[in-house]
Amino acid sequence: MQQVGVLAFCGTGSDYYGTGCQAGPCDVSTTNDVSVASIVTPEFFAALVA
Protein backbone atom coordinates (compact mmCIF):
# COMPACT_ATOMS: atom_id res chain seq x y z
CA MET A 1 0.00 0.00 0.00
CA GLN A 2 1.46 3.33 -1.02
CA GLN A 3 1.30 6.20 1.43
CA VAL A 4 2.03 9.92 1.29
CA GLY A 5 4.87 11.01 3.56
CA VAL A 6 5.16 14.25 5.52
CA LEU A 7 6.57 16.13 2.52
CA ALA A 8 3.84 14.78 0.21
CA PHE A 9 6.12 12.26 -1.52
CA CYS A 10 4.56 8.88 -2.19
CA GLY A 11 6.23 5.62 -1.28
CA THR A 12 6.04 2.39 0.62
CA GLY A 13 9.25 2.27 2.68
CA SER A 14 10.27 3.38 6.15
CA ASP A 15 10.59 6.98 4.90
CA TYR A 16 6.83 7.03 4.53
CA TYR A 17 5.85 5.04 7.61
CA GLY A 18 6.98 5.86 11.13
CA THR A 19 7.31 8.80 13.49
CA GLY A 20 6.06 11.97 11.83
CA CYS A 21 4.56 10.22 8.83
CA GLN A 22 0.93 10.54 7.85
CA ALA A 23 0.49 6.77 7.72
CA GLY A 24 1.70 6.29 11.28
CA PRO A 25 4.23 3.75 12.51
CA CYS A 26 5.42 0.79 10.43
CA ASP A 27 5.12 -1.70 13.24
CA VAL A 28 1.83 -1.86 15.07
CA SER A 29 2.10 -3.13 18.62
CA THR A 30 -0.20 -5.75 20.04
CA THR A 31 -3.59 -4.74 21.39
CA ASN A 32 -3.00 -6.17 24.88
CA ASP A 33 -6.15 -8.26 24.42
CA VAL A 34 -8.32 -5.12 24.54
CA SER A 35 -11.25 -5.13 22.17
CA VAL A 36 -12.05 -1.96 20.26
CA ALA A 37 -15.73 -2.46 21.06
CA SER A 38 -14.94 -2.22 24.77
CA ILE A 39 -13.39 1.22 24.22
CA VAL A 40 -15.48 2.67 21.40
CA THR A 41 -18.95 2.30 22.81
CA PRO A 42 -21.97 3.80 21.04
CA GLU A 43 -21.95 6.60 23.61
CA PHE A 44 -18.24 7.32 23.04
CA PHE A 45 -18.73 7.37 19.26
CA ALA A 46 -21.79 9.63 19.56
CA ALA A 47 -19.73 12.09 21.62
CA LEU A 48 -17.03 12.14 18.93
CA VAL A 49 -19.41 12.96 16.11
CA ALA A 50 -21.52 15.42 18.10
Domain ranges of the chain: 1-28
CB atoms closer than 10 angstroms to residue 16 = 20
pTM for this prediction? 0.28
- DSSP tally for the chain: helices H, then strands E: 2, 2
Is the pLDDT at 5 greater than 50? The verdict is: no
List beta partners, residue 11: 3
pLDDT of residue 42: 84
What would the pLDDT profile of 17-28 be if each residue is shown by its tens digit? 555 555 555 555
